[in-house]
Amino acid sequence: MAKRGFFLISFFTCCAIFTACAVQESKSEVPIPENKVPTATLIKVETSPTPQPADKVLTHKPELSVTLSQAIQVFEPISPLEGILPEELKQIVSNPFLMPTEGQDDGHHGTDFSFYSFGKFSSIDNLGVVSIFPGKVSAVISDRPPYGNAVIIETNLKNLSDDYLSLLDSLDLDETIRHKSNLNCPDYSQEILEFSKTEESLYVLYAHLKNEPQLELSAQVDQGQVIGNVGNTGMSGNSHLHLEMRIGPTNATFPQMAHYDNSVTTLEMANYCLWRVSNYFKLFDPMRFFDISQTKP
């Protein structure tokens, strides 16, 4: 499970379905959940380059129908802030996302939400922070730089609705893994090579929370579950929520993560580098998820 006590990641014992494997081989495509595989893709995957006897083709069809009949619940994102609607989020962006230079820790890797007065609220401080999707806790960070108190929650892409999978596909995220950065990083190249990319998940980070997160690593979280309160911990100048989204291999966990402080351990730093600059966890603007929810009828 642990790779040299470094970066915890579980491998899928095999390619869960041949469609997922096939998709992985084509660059930059988000894996398609088995219950969402378009008919066209199924035909493409099932059709062998050499003609197959009719009975061989037929033997595959029942397996496909079984796969397609497995119901997987899909979700659309909700607002990460209690009492603030998704369509209101753009009004309280205090620092927008700014894509970093390739492999560097510059730019702004997320969206900051803050206000002094909004609607019935006189301050964002202590406002409840909720999980925008159901998922699994991948990181519990207790007052470490730069994120302060923070939580990362993983949601398998198969649990996202078609609209959001299409959106992710349209972003055409850069797939290049980076081993070098201006950021001071321990060598993580070997760990990256060992990762499985059979399936991918959405990872959402909620940072600068007021209190130490009361969640266990790998615990299941419901959509809308309160995971903390807006605070001002870590490298933060005022109470705000830093929301960050990435697409990465499933079942990754970061038991520790930190940087920018003399107290950080090699392990914390390596995990920070993997998260921030390796591009194994592909970054995108979280507001894209809330734009789409506003334009839908």
Residues that bind Zn ion (CB under 5 A): 110, 112, 242
Is-contact 156 32, C-beta < 8 A? no
Nearer to Zn ion, 112 or 199 (CB): 112
Smallest distance from the beta carbon of 108 to Zn ion, in angstroms? 6
User: How many helices (H) and strands (E) in the chain?
Assistant: 7, 12
Pairing, β 135-144 against β 220-221: antiparallel
Smallest distance from the beta carbon of 212 to Zn ion, in angstroms? 19
Nearer to Zn ion, 37 or 227 (CB): 227
Question: Tokens standing for 152?
Answer: 């990362």
Smallest distance from the beta carbon of 272 to Zn ion, in angstroms? 15
Q: Which residue's structure tokens are 């730089």?
A: 145
Question: Tokens standing for 7?
Answer: 């970066």
Nearer to Zn ion, 31 or 110 (CB): 110
Question: Tokens standing for 70?
Answer: 């497995």
Number of residue whose CB is nearest Zn ion: 242
Q: Cα–Cα distance between 238 and 205 in angstroms, integer?
A: 18
Nearer to Zn ion, 17 or 227 (CB): 227
Smallest distance from the beta carbon of 208 to Zn ion, in angstroms? 8
Smallest distance from the beta carbon of 241 to Zn ion, in angstroms? 8
Smallest distance from the beta carbon of 147 to Zn ion, in angstroms? 9
Read off φ and ψ for residue 66, nearest 5 degrees: -65, -45
Nearer to Zn ion, 127 or 267 (CB): 127
Smallest distance from the beta carbon of 95 to Zn ion, in angstroms? 6
Q: Cα–Cα distance between 150 and 211 in angstroms, integer?
A: 9
Nearer to Zn ion, 33 or 110 (CB): 110
Residue 129: DSSP 8-state: E
Pairing, β 220-221 against β 200-209: unpaired
Nearer to Zn ion, 242 or 276 (CB): 242
Q: Cα–Cα distance between 144 and 151 in angstroms, integer?
A: 12
Q: Which of 42, 44, 47 is nearest to 67 (CA)?
A: 42
